[in-house]
Amino acid sequence: MRKDKKIHPIWPIVTIFSIIGIVIIRNFAFTQIEASDNITFHSITITNANCAIAVGDSCSIARSIDRGKNWILWKKVCQLNSTLYSVSFYDSNNGIAVGTNGTLLLSTDGGVVWYNRSIKTGENFRAISLNKNGTGIIVGEQGTIYRTTNYGQNWTRQNNIVNFNLNSVFAIDDDKYCIVGDNGTILLSADKGAKWRNLSSSLITYNFYSATFCKTNYGIIVGQNGTIIYTSDGGEKWTLAPSNTTNTLHSCYMISPEFAVTTGAQSTILISTNKAANWNASPYEHQILLKSTAFFDEKQGIIAGEKQSIIFTSDGGLTWKPASIKIEKPVSPPIGQFLKSNIATAVGANGIIIQSTDMGKTWKKLVSKTENTLTAVLAIDANTTITVGNGGTILKSTDLGVNWLPQVSGLTRPLFNAFFTSIDTGYIVGDYGIILKTTNGGTTWNRMQSNSINHLRAVIFTTSKDGIACGAMGTILRTTDGGTSWNPVVSNTEGWLNSIARVSQSTFMIAGSAGTILKTTDNGATWLPQPSGYTNDLYDIFFCDSLKGFAVGAKGILIITENSGTQWKALDSGIENDLQSIHFFDKNQGIIVGTKGIILRTTNGGSTWRAVDTDISLSLYGITIN
C-alpha cells in the first residue's frame, strides 16, 4: 500500500483523499447464490437483536428471526405490485415500508402483518428513516420530503429544498437527520426534520445513494462512480475516501467508527476498519447487484440484492453464505383487526353519535337519525362504521359518519354488540339470546339459532368460522361454523359477562360483574378465572398488545395489567361516573367514555387520564377507532 497523497480541498468544508491502492483480502470466500427469480431486494433493516426485514420488487417483504440465515418471503403484500424501496422501524414492533406511487405500508407486530396506508399523491418514494421519538422522514423523486411527528399517523409534505431525486435519509440522533440524493445533494436537519440546510457542493456532482451514521459524529455517504465520503463531526465537514472502484455503491452501514460496510454494483463489497478512511475489498465471481446491507454487530451481517439474493456473514465479512428463502402467502390481519387512524366515534343515550378527528382532543355531534339509545359502535374498516342499540336499531355509515343509514333488523328488542369478520360478514348480539348475521354488509340480517334465552352482551370472532359470545348468567357461547350453530361453554360463574377482548392469536379475555375476568388460551374452548382484585362491575376490556390491557366499569373503576391479565392494579380515573367503553388509537393515546357524557383521554399509554371538556351530558356507552 502506498501512502496517501496530498489532501486537496473540494469545497470549504470538504477535503479529498486521492485514491490509494486497497488491500485485497485473499481469504474472503463467497458461496454461490442460486437466483430463483427476478425480484430485487432494495432495502434491509434490523428491528431487534435477531430480526431483520427486507423489501423489494412486486411489493415483496421478507423477514428473518435468526440473524438473516432463514427468511420467509411474502410477495404482493396488501395485494399491491408496487416496488418497495425502503423500510425502517421505530422499535422492534412498529415499522414502515415505502415505494412507488406513494406506497406506504405499516406494521405493528414486527413485520409480519402489514397495512396499506399509501399516500395518494402518485409520488415515488425512495427512502424512509424513523426515529424512536415518533418523528420520521420520507424522501423521493424530484426533491420530495414528507415528515411525521406522530409515529406515521399523519404525514406533511415539506417545501422542496432541491429538485433533484433524494435517495436516502438517516436519523442521526433524536434531533438530526441527513438526506442525500442526486447531483451530490446533502441536506442536514438539526430539529427533527422541520428545517433543512443544504450542504451540497458544485464540486461533487455524482449521485449519492446511501448515508449512515454512528455515535452521532461519524458518518458515510456513498454513491456513483465508487464515491465514498466520510465525516467525524456530524456531517459538517466531509472527506473523500479512496474506494479504488468505479462501480456504483448503493448502500452503506456503520456499526462503529472501526467497522463500516458498503455494497454496490457487480458484487462490490468494501469494508473499513479505520473510521471509513480506507476500504478493503474482495472480488465476487458472480456479477450481481448488491443493493442493501445491515449488520447486527461487527461479526454478523446481511446483504440483499437482485435475483432474490440474500447472503449473510458470521465472521465480520470474511466469509458469506446464501440465506434460505421460503416463499409463503402474505399474512392477513387478524379477523376484525385493521390499522387505526386518528378518528374516534362514540355513541350513547337518545341516539347520540359524536366524533373526534384529532385523537379525542375535540368532539362534534353527528346526525344519527334515531332517538333510541345506542349501546355499541364498531369500525368495520377505515370508512365504514356500524352502531346498534335499543329497539333493534342498526345504523351504518360508509363515509366516516357523515351519513347514517338505518338497516332492518326485524326486531324491537335491544341489541348490544357487533363484530364483522369482513366488510360483508358480520354478527350482532342482543337480549334474549339474539344473534343476527349478515353476509352482504348489513343489507339483510338473518337470525341464527343461539340455543340460549339469556341476554348477550358481546361477540367476537377468532377466525371467519370461530366465534365467541357472552352475556347474562355466566353465558358463554361458541361457534365453529360461522355462526350457524352455537354451543354453551362452561364459565364457572353466574354473573354478567359484558365484554370480550383479543389478547393474542388464540388468547381472549372476558370482563363482567363483580370484577370478574376470565381468560382462554384455546380460542374459547375453555376458560379460567383471572382474579382482578376488585368487586366493581366491569363493562369493557381492551388490550393494546399481548401484555398490556385495561378494564373499566362502575363508579370510575379503571384497572390495568401488564402481564396478560395475571395481575391487575387500579389507576386513578379521577371520577365516580360509570366508565362504559375503552379504546386506544396507538400504544400511547386512548379514550374512555361513560355516563353523563364523561370522556377521558390518555397520551402516555394509560398511566394518567384527563377529562375532556365537552358540552355533552348524555351518557356514552360505546366507542370505536376508525
Q: Quick one: 298 and 423 in the same domain? A: no
Q: Quick one: 314 and 434 in the same domain? A: no
pLDDT of 295 > 70? The answer is: yes
Q: Is residue 479 part of a domain?
A: yes
For residue 240, the model assigns a pLDDT of 95
Using the structure block, give the residue that is written with the C-alpha cell 413485520.
111
pLDDT in tens, 185-229: 999 999 999 999 999 987 789 999 999 999 999 999 999 999 999
Structural domain ending residue among the three candidates 299, 328, 357: 328
pLDDT of 389 > 90? The answer is: yes
pLDDT band with cut points at 50, 70 and 90 for residue 31: very low
Q: Is residue 408 part of a domain?
A: no
For residue 505, the model assigns a pLDDT of 82
Q: Is residue 280 part of a domain?
A: yes
DSSP-derived 3-state class of residue 42: strand
pLDDT in tens, 404-448: 999 999 999 999 999 999 899 999 999 999 999 999 999 999 999
Q: Quick one: 164 and 284 in the same domain? A: yes
Residue 291, exposed/middle/buried by CB under 10 A (0-12, 13-18, 19+)? buried
For residue 340, the model assigns a pLDDT of 67
CA distances in angstroms from 184 to 187, 239, 281, listed in the order given = 10, 13, 24
- Those residues whose C-beta lies under 8 Å from the C-beta of residue 44, and which sit 6 or more positions away, are 52, 53, 54, 55, 87, 292, 293, 294, 302, 303, 304, 310
Q: What is the 3-state secondary structure (H, E, C) of 68-132?
A: CCEEEEECCHHHCCCCEEEEEECCCCCEEEEEHHHCEEEECCCCCECEECCCCCCCCEEEEEECC
Q: Is residue 67 part of a domain?
A: yes
For residue 150, the model assigns a pLDDT of 87
- Those residues whose C-beta lies under 8 Å from the C-beta of residue 1, and which sit 6 or more positions away, are 20, 21, 22, 23
pLDDT in tens, 105-135: 999 889 999 999 899 888 999 999 999 999 9
> b/e string for 534-563 if b means 16 or more Cβ within 10 A?
bebbbbbbbbbeeebbbbbbbebbbbbbbe
For residue 342, the model assigns a pLDDT of 84
- Those residues whose C-beta lies under 8 Å from the C-beta of residue 543, and which sit 6 or more positions away, are 501, 502, 503, 509, 549, 550
DSSP-derived 3-state class of residue 266: helix
For residue 548, the model assigns a pLDDT of 96
Helix ranges, 181-339 (H): none
Q: Quick one: 435 and 309 in the same domain? A: no
For residue 154, the model assigns a pLDDT of 86
For residue 64, the model assigns a pLDDT of 98
CA dist 160 and 393 (Å) reads 51
| Secondary element (H or E) of residue 421 | none
CA distances in angstroms from 61 to 11, 93, 97, listed in the order given = 41, 15, 9
CB atoms closer than 10 angstroms to residue 352: 22
For residue 587, the model assigns a pLDDT of 83
Q: Quick one: 316 and 436 in the same domain? A: no
Assess contact for 559 and 531: CB atoms under 8 A: no
Q: Quick one: 128 and 244 in the same domain? A: yes
pLDDT of 509 > 90? The answer is: yes
Q: Is residue 350 part of a domain?
A: no
How far is C-alpha 478 from the geometric centre of its chain's CA atoms?
31
CA dist 219 and 518 (Å) reads 53
State which residues form the domain around 496: 419-618
pLDDT of 337 > 70? The answer is: no
For residue 339, the model assigns a pLDDT of 62
From 478, 466, 464, 454, select the one nearest 526 (Cα to Cα). 478
pLDDT of 382 > 90? The answer is: no
From 151, 288, 218, select the one nearest 605 (Cα to Cα). 151
Higher pLDDT, 158 or 4: 158
Assess contact for 354 and 616: CB atoms under 8 A: yes
CA dist 446 and 463 (Å) reads 20
Using the structure block, give the residue that is written with the C-alpha cell 343515550.
349
For residue 338, the model assigns a pLDDT of 59
CA dihedral 380, 94, 295, 129 (to 10 degrees): 100
Q: How many degrees, rounded to 5, is the angle at CA 591 between CA 351 and CA 431?
A: 45
Question: What domain count does the chain have?
Answer: 2
pLDDT of 535 > 90? The answer is: yes
Assess contact for 531 and 565: CB atoms under 8 A: no
pLDDT of 623 > 60? The answer is: yes
pLDDT of 4 > 50? The answer is: no
Structural domain ending residue among the three candidates 307, 328, 349: 328
Assess contact for 486 and 469: CB atoms under 8 A: yes
pLDDT of 333 > 50? The answer is: yes
CB atoms closer than 10 angstroms to residue 449: 11
- Those residues whose C-beta lies under 8 Å from the C-beta of residue 79, and which sit 6 or more positions away, are none
CA dist 622 and 373 (Å) reads 11
> Quick one: cell of 190?
438539526
For residue 121, the model assigns a pLDDT of 85
The DSSP secondary-structure symbol of 595 reads G
DSSP-derived 3-state class of residue 472: helix
Give the percent of the chain with pLDDT over 70: 92
The DSSP secondary-structure symbol of 159 reads P
Q: Is residue 87 part of a domain?
A: yes
Q: Is residue 384 part of a domain?
A: no
pLDDT in tens, 343-373: 999 999 999 999 999 999 999 999 998 999 9
Residue 6, exposed/middle/buried by CB under 10 A (0-12, 13-18, 19+)? exposed
Rounded to an integer, the average pLDDT of 96-105 is 97
For residue 36, the model assigns a pLDDT of 44
For residue 37, the model assigns a pLDDT of 60
Give the percent of the chain with pLDDT over 90: 84
Mean pLDDT over all residues of the chain?
92
CA dist 278 and 173 (Å) reads 25
DSSP bridge pairs for 550? 542, 560
Structural domain ending residue among the three candidates 274, 296, 328: 328
For residue 158, the model assigns a pLDDT of 96
CA dist 321 and 31 (Å) reads 5
| β-pairing verdict for 185-189 and 197-198 | antiparallel
pLDDT of 498 > 70? The answer is: yes
CB atoms closer than 10 angstroms to residue 101: 16
**Whole-structure pTM over 0.95, yes or no?**
no
Domain holding 596: CATH number? 2.130.10.10
For residue 435, the model assigns a pLDDT of 98
β-sheet with 487-488: strand ranges across: 456-461, 467-471, 476-479, 487-488
For residue 284, the model assigns a pLDDT of 65
β-sheet with 415-420: strand ranges across: 415-420, 426-430, 435-438, 446-447
Q: Is 258 left (phi over 0), alpha (psi -120 to 50) or beta?
A: alpha
What's phi and psi for 162, nearest 5 deg? Answer: -135, 170
β-sheet with 208-214: strand ranges across: 8-11, 14-16, 238-241, 228-231, 218-223, 208-214
Residue 484, exposed/middle/buried by CB under 10 A (0-12, 13-18, 19+)? exposed
Q: Is residue 12 part of a domain?
A: yes
For residue 586, the model assigns a pLDDT of 84
CB atoms closer than 10 angstroms to residue 24: 11
